[in-house]
Amino acid sequence: MNKNINIIVGDWARCKADAAAIRHAVFVQEQCVPVELEMDANDEHCIHAVAYNEHGQPLGTGRLLPDGHIGRMAVQADYRSLGVGSMLLHALIDEARVRQYLEVVLSAQLHAQDFYARHGFVAEGPVYMDAGIEHITMRHALTV
């Protein structure tokens, strides 16, 4: 993992500008998810993580919902396969442990299933469509 990457964890007020910009670039522009599906009212109730490089440029983001779901994991295209997603995922899992959640659950885009499996997530149920993209539910049991 890149030592020059800094993960900031905070509420929506702290993370909104950078998290929203990354999500817009990845989901709306790159993956053509309708903007009305991308942004939702859950953000204000979530813990967010944003990754920054040594110059303060936002690279990726994700969120942890109060029910233990991890979502909106997104990394800018130029920074994929550099460990940014792993660092974000670990930060969110750590936050779930602090809150003593027994597990975390996510809705993985099918192409990212192997990424999440490498981090201990197990697929369950059938593949389904969400915003025109194939997804699968994945769970990861936590030890506190």
pLDDT of residue 143: 83
pLDDT of residue 18: 98
pLDDT of residue 8: 98
Residue in the structure block whose two tokens are 């994700």: 62
Query: Is the residue at 17 inside a domain?
Result: yes
Question: Judging by DSSP bridges, how do beta strands 69-75 and 103-109 pair with one another?
Answer: parallel
d(CA 42, CA 89): 18
For the domain that residue 13 is a member of, what is the CATH number? 3.40.630.30
Positions of E strands within 76-131:
103-109, 122-130
pLDDT in tens, 95-141: 999 999 999 999 999 999 999 999 999 999 999 999 899 999 999 99
What total number of domains does the chain contain?
1
Query: Is the residue at 79 inside a domain?
Result: yes
137: domain range? Answer: 6-141
Task: State pTM to two decimals.
Answer: 0.94
Query: Is the residue at 1 inside a domain?
Result: no
